[in-house]
């Protein structure tokens, strides 16, 4: 029989002198045999009672119920020599849950309780660091299979969640709309007018999706023009833009006014295009600066107030003038700067203008108006084209890449679902739908959350770590979970976690949603360990990057801790 010696979770090298432990082992086995004969324990129960050992040992027994018995037989690995896992998130396989609670010796229970205490002390020491004394944390860590708590700190204290609010929005959306839901934008003809009927699709003209699917930029504009040309159409009267899937409010009232040109605070319309942004670049050409706009369009007019400089400065800023479609660009340019994304005003008119300009290039003239209009639900028209975006694509952009527009379109769609005709979605109706989901489906107390928007940009949002860990625990048990899990960022692999958890032993094991606005850092998700999945939620307010690093380090400690639980004493029979 081959016997392996473990020290700190690591197999000792064979060329090292090994301790002479055979006599002690024989005495121990004889002692255990006598205990088994004279003091038998009923199968399926620990050999000590909770009355004897108290809550500390009872917690250890609960933890042990989560252990994968098969994993207990594997070689434990230390922090530097963990078995590498495949980087692809889809290839991560959760361990099988134990079919029954193993029998524990008194020493096993005590040592497991000690291991739990060690983790709790380690986490507490990290968040109580002197430099974090002003940071407020809300933390909840639990086993994914049972929901049993591993660690809590102010878990029921509501804090500003930043983009962790997107987890609530996206789970509510997939629950309400279903995995197979699609955003469908329709293009039609009626009385020689072109109709563009919006569905609230946030990813129409999204460069990330187009690149992944091998489509060239702005292919949609060319496709509409080509389909009209194929029908022999050389002129149109009007272009009518129907955005009535959403209400008329495009800017959330609680978003900071100073951020409205930023891409993360772009307007939200029933017709969105190119993330409702343009890209601006500035180039110094032989002492003169030139502005470049992408896509090139007459929808916006740029005023060039930049200066060429010889010093190594390359920066510019953009501000709106009295006309929201006239932008003033200032800055100092040595060589070039940009491209930088800048949010535009009225996304539907932006899209309509681009379509009109593309039609003109192809010889299709528009003789009438370009206007927004709410069409009747029973409007008759000849269908020219349909453009579909699956819900899962929107969830991926919201969760993996933290695209605010995706989350805000989702909360407005949830609002539209509240109305009989499934139109007119508003932030107010969406907030009510999400709040009802949290209370009725998850049983989250109303004092543990406040929903202001879908993306977490508003500082009026509030969530607790308990609410987020409960959300993930609930979602993990739903039929949609396998698909939903793929929408979150994977540590060391993609999304907002691509450059985090890149260590060989960690890559591909953390699946989570990040959160960041000024003074807020957040991370909620789960990690795959050798003893099963662990759900975690960290919210930090009045926080800096030190808090973010601390959160990441705690997640690493959780993985190392759970992985090495298998190095606990052997189970008795």
For residue range 117-144, list pLDDT tens digits in order. 999 999 999 999 999 999 999 999 999 9
Residue 550: is it exposed, middle or buried by C-beta count within 10 angstroms (0-12/13-18/19+)?
buried
- 33's CB contacts (< 8 A; 6+ apart) are none
* Across 471-477, average pLDDT: 98
Average pLDDT taken over every residue of the chain: 85
CB 506 within 8 A of CB 497: no
* Across 322-331, average pLDDT: 96
pLDDT in tens, 43-74: 333 333 333 333 444 344 444 444 443 333 33
pLDDT in tens, 343-368: 999 999 999 999 999 999 999 999 99
Task: Determine the pLDDT at residue 143.
Answer: 96
Task: Determine the pLDDT at residue 112.
Answer: 73
Instruction: Choose between 29 and 112: higher pLDDT.
Output: 112
What is the set of domains in the chain, with CATH numbers? 47-159+464-573 (3.40.710.10), 182-390 (3.50.80.20)
Q: How many percent of the chain have pLDDT more than 90?
A: 77
The CA R_g of the chain, rounded to the nearest whole Å, is 29
pLDDT in tens, 172-211: 999 999 999 999 999 999 999 999 999 999 999 999 999 9
Task: Determine the pLDDT at residue 109.
Answer: 57
Task: Determine the pLDDT at residue 92.
Answer: 39
Q: How many percent of the chain have pLDDT more than 70?
A: 79
- The DSSP letter of residue 131 is G
List the single range of 99-108, 202-211, 457-466, 474-483 with lowest mean pLDDT. Answer: 99-108
Task: Determine the pLDDT at residue 175.
Answer: 98
- The DSSP letter of residue 425 is B
Q: What is the pTM of this model?
A: 0.81
Length of the chain equals 573
Closest by CA to 47, choosing from 98, 100, 108, is 108
- The DSSP letter of residue 19 is P
Q: For 76, how many CA atoms within 13 A lie in the half-sphere containing its CB?
A: 25
Task: Determine the pLDDT at residue 108.
Answer: 53
State the virtual CA torsion across 412, 418, 419, 422 in degrees, nearest 10: 60
Indicate the pLDDT class of residue 114, thresholds 50, 70 and 90: confident
Task: Determine the pLDDT at residue 115.
Answer: 86
Task: Determine the pLDDT at residue 242.
Answer: 98
Distance of alpha carbon 445 from alpha carbon 462, whole angstroms: 12
CB 187 within 8 A of CB 195: yes
Hey, which residues does 273 pair with through a beta bridge?
none
Instruction: Output phi, psi for 550, to 5 deg.
Output: -65, -45
pLDDT in tens, 390-440: 999 999 999 999 999 999 999 999 999 999 999 999 999 999 999 999 999
Closest by CA to 271, choosing from 175, 132, 372, is 372
């Amino acid at each position: 029989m081959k016997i392996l010696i473990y020290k700190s979770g690591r197999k000792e090298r064979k060329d090292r002198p090994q301790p002479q432990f055979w006599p002690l082992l024989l005495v121990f086995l004889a002692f255990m045999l006598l205990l088994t004969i004279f003091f038998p324990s009923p199968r399926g129960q620990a050999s000590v009672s909770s009355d004897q050992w108290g809550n500390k040992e009872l917690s250890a027994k609960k933890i042990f119920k989560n252990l994968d018995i098969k994993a207990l037989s594997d070689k434990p690995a230390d922090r530097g020599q963990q078995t590498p896992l495949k980087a692809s998130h889809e290839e991560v396989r959760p361990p099988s849950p134990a079919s029954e609670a193993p029998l524990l010796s008194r020493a096993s229970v005590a040592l497991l309780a000690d291991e739990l205490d060690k983790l709790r002390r380690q986490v507490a020491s990290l968040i109580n660091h002197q430099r974090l004394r002003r940071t407020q944390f809300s933390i909840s860590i639990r086993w994914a299979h049972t929901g049993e708590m591993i660690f809590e700190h102010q878990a029921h204290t509501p804090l500003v969640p930043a983009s962790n609010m997107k987890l609530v929005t996206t789970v509510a959306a997939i629950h309400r709309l279903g995995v197979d839901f699609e955003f469908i934008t329709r293009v039609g003809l009626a009385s020689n007018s072109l109709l563009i009927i919006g569905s609230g699709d946030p990813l129409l003209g999204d460069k990330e999706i187009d690149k992944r699917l091998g489509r060239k930029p702005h292919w949609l504009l060319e496709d509409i023009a080509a389909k009209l040309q194929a029908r022999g159409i050389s002129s149109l009267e009007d272009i009518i833009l129907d955005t009535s899937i959403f209400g008329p409010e495009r800017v959330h009232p609680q978003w900071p006014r100073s951020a409205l040109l930023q891409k993360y605070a772009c307007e939200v319309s029933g017709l969105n295009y190119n993330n409702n942004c343009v890209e601006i670049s500035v180039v110094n050409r032989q002492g003169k600066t030139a502005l470049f706009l992408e896509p090139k369009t007459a929808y916006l007019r740029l005023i060039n107030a930049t200066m060429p400089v010889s010093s190594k400065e390359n920066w510019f800023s953009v501000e709106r003038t009295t006309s929201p479609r006239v932008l003033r660009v200032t800055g100092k340019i040595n060589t070039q700067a940009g491209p930088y994304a800048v949010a535009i005003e009225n996304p539907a008119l932006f899209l309509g203008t681009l379509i009109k300009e593309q039609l003109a290039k192809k010889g299709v003239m528009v003789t009438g108006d370009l206007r927004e209009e709410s069409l009747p639900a029973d409007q008759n028209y000849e269908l020219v084209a349909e453009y579909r975006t699956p819900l899962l694509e929107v969830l991926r952009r919201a969760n993996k890449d933290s695209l605010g527009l995706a989350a805000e379109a989702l909360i407005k769609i949830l609002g539209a679902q509240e109305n009989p005709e499934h139109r007119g979605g508003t932030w107010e109706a969406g907030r009510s739908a999400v709040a009802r989901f949290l209370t009725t489906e998850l049983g989250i107390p109303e004092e543990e959350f406040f929903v202001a928007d879908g993306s977490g940009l508003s500082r009026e949002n509030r969530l607790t770590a308990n609410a987020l860990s409960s959300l993930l625990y609930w979602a993990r048990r739903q039929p949609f979970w396998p698909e939903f899990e793929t929408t979150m960022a994977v540590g060391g692999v993609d999304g907002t976690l691509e450059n985090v958890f890149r260590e060989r032993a960690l890559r591909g094991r953390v699946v989570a949603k990040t959160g960041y606005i000024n003074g807020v850092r957040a991370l909620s998700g789960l990690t795959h360990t050798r003893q099963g999945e662990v759900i975690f939620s960290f919210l930090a307010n009045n926080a800096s990057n030190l808090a973010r690093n601390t959160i990441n380090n705690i997640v690493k400690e959780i993985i190392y801790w759970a992985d090495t639980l298998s190095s606990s004493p052997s189970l008795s029979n």
